[in-house]
Structure 1
Amino acid sequence: MGVLSLVHAPGRYANLRRIRSLDPEVDHDEILRLTARLEFPWDYTQGTGIAFMRDYGVPSIAAVLDRTREFEDHGTKRYDDTILIGDEATLDGIDSPRSYAALRRLNRIHGHYDIPDHELAYVLATTIVGPVRWIEAYGWRRLDDHELAAITKVTTRFGELMGIKGLPTTYDGYLALLVDYERRHFAHTPEATRLAEASIRIAKEVAPAPLRPLLRRVTIAVMDEPLREALGLPRQPRWLVRAVRGGLRARGRLLRLAPPRRTAYAHRPTSYPHGYRLEDLGPTTMLDALNRSAS
């Protein structure tokens, strides 16, 4: 990872020292918890959000997602449910009973659609590459090799529990999968633009009010050009792109001076202000069928 920053808050690297003392093959769940919920909770969330939008750049995936109208009609619930199923699969460990129940439900949801394995593998790749790329660009430190190995281990096991075969076992393998898939499949469609605009509206709904007026332009400004073009979103002025990205890098540097987070981040779903059960998660039109098949 390189040398640690000489200017940092006391205890800022305590979690990293803990991570380096663990074995990614055995302690992957704990390393993921430390990385995603204590070291980089905001960055992990932002990187995951951009990752979700990459799916829209693949026309066959965008066509299915657009046809469901989940983003248009139940956008905030769709956003919350996606995050919460991921939480259910990882909070107690990827091989816990809680995880198995969440993945069974996810598989039942996917079973309503004809989704080929190569699309599922690509979507899975976005969920690891998106956060890693974001942290590499804007995080307060670089990710350690132990972190990359642990995140990869959990990602591959997640995919295995979805029934996906032949998945990568290294982060570089997932990166290569994503880059090659996008080279062959990325293309703009009207469905991609509708989904992207719907996702930005969802982000506005859950964002603090002062951030909402500029959120659309800022979101586009952090996109790489192939993604922006595939989504059919307007190019932003260079000064805005430089300002947004520069501001995010400055935030990362300033965070080195902040004390380490003491409590693990937990997503607070707007859709379920009084709490949720696993039976609440999934497309509204499917809930009865999903819950009948689970009983």
Structure 2
Amino acid sequence: MSTPAPARDAFAALVLHRRPQRARVGLTLGFVRTFAVPEIAEVLDRTGRLASAPKARAKATGAMMFALVGHGVDSPDGQRIVAELAAVHRLPGVDAELMRYVLACFTVCPVEFADGTPAEREAAAAFAADLAAALHLPPLPGPGLAETAAWMREFETARFAPSEAGRRLWHTVAPLFAARLPRRLARHAPAFAAALLDAPLRAAFALPRPPLPLRAAARLAFHLTR
């Protein structure tokens, strides 16, 4: 059974209305986290779709997730998107644990970056449970988002590793952060985006640690958006 609409609506209100730009940055960061898992990076790199049209693929990913959040997993649009996501699950090299991790990233990262309230976090966890069930995946750790986030970090400790595919994907996607920056800073998007990455991601992508002023400026620049 899917989450009741009032609970789901709290998550939808955050990512679609209250702080949509921050949520989109968070979703992009969640997408980037998956590149640090070599098995996921190899699948994404092998298809070539992200490299050939990074902006279109990133936009399509965001549109799918936010349509699911807005309309619900059981809606006609939601069922269509679930079928598309299930097709990804059938790609060679993609197993249930990898799919669970991607789902965790796409739920936890937007909420964390948008500074979701306890009610919004609870609704996000309920949404993730609905989507996992619709995709016939094992349930994510719960009952709250904190447990899912903790499992996500444990997964990363075990599975993050450098890979050529992951580095290529990062350098393909980094310029897309320009759309979320003030115009005068847009040309510095890769540097500002790298400043948002934590140490495990920087290690996977072989990136140096940005200086503290740049890290502080990046957080401020992206958090000034609604």
Query: What TM-score results when the alignment is normalised by the length of structure 1?
Result: 0.69
Kept in 2, the 8 Å contact 1:189–1:230? The answer is: yes
Matched, 1:52 2:25: no
The aligned length equals: 223
Task: Indicate which of 131, 134, 137 corresponds to 1:161.
Answer: 134
Task: Indicate which of 22, 27, 50 corresponds to 1:71.
Answer: 50
- Residues 231 and 100 of structure 1, relative CA distance in 2, 3 Å threshold: same
Task: Indicate which of 14, 19, 35 corresponds to 1:35.
Answer: 14
Q: CA deviation at 1:133?
A: 2.2
State which structure, 1 or 2, has the greater radius of gyration over its C-alpha atoms. Answer: 1
- Larger proportion of helix: 2
Tell me the distance in 2 between the aligned counterparts of 1:157 and 1:90.
10
Q: CA deviation at 1:41?
A: 0.8
Instruction: Tell me the secondary structure at the aligned position of residue 91 of structure 2.
Output: coil
Give the RMSD, CA atoms, in angstroms. Answer: 2.3
Matched, 1:105 2:77: no
Instruction: Tell me the secondary structure at the aligned position of residue 91 of structure 1.
Output: helix
Q: CA deviation at 1:244?
A: 2.5
In structure 1, the residue matched to 2:190 is 216
Q: CA deviation at 1:247?
A: 4.8
- Residues 88 and 131 of structure 1, relative CA distance in 2, 3 Å threshold: closer
Instruction: Tell me the secondary structure at the aligned position of residue 126 of structure 1.
Output: helix
Tell me the distance in 1 between the aligned counterparts of 2:26 and 2:217.
18
Unpaired segments ≥5 residues, structure 2: none
Within-5 A mapping of 1:177-256 = 177-204=151-178, 210-248=184-222, 251=224
Tell me the distance in 2 between the aligned counterparts of 1:113 and 1:205.
33
- Residues 130 and 189 of structure 1, relative CA distance in 2, 3 Å threshold: same
Tell me the distance in 1 between the aligned counterparts of 2:92 and 2:57.
16
Query: What TM-score results when the alignment is normalised by the length of structure 2?
Result: 0.88
Q: Which amino acid aligns with 1:147?
A: E
Identity %: 24
Instruction: Tell me the secondary structure at the aligned position of residue 27 of structure 1.
Output: helix
Q: CA deviation at 1:25?
A: 5.1
Tell me the distance in 1 between the aligned counterparts of 2:176 and 2:13.
28
Q: Which amino acid aligns with 1:190?
A: E
Tell me the distance in 1 between the aligned counterparts of 2:92 and 2:55.
21
Tell me the distance in 2 between the aligned counterparts of 1:152 and 1:207.
29
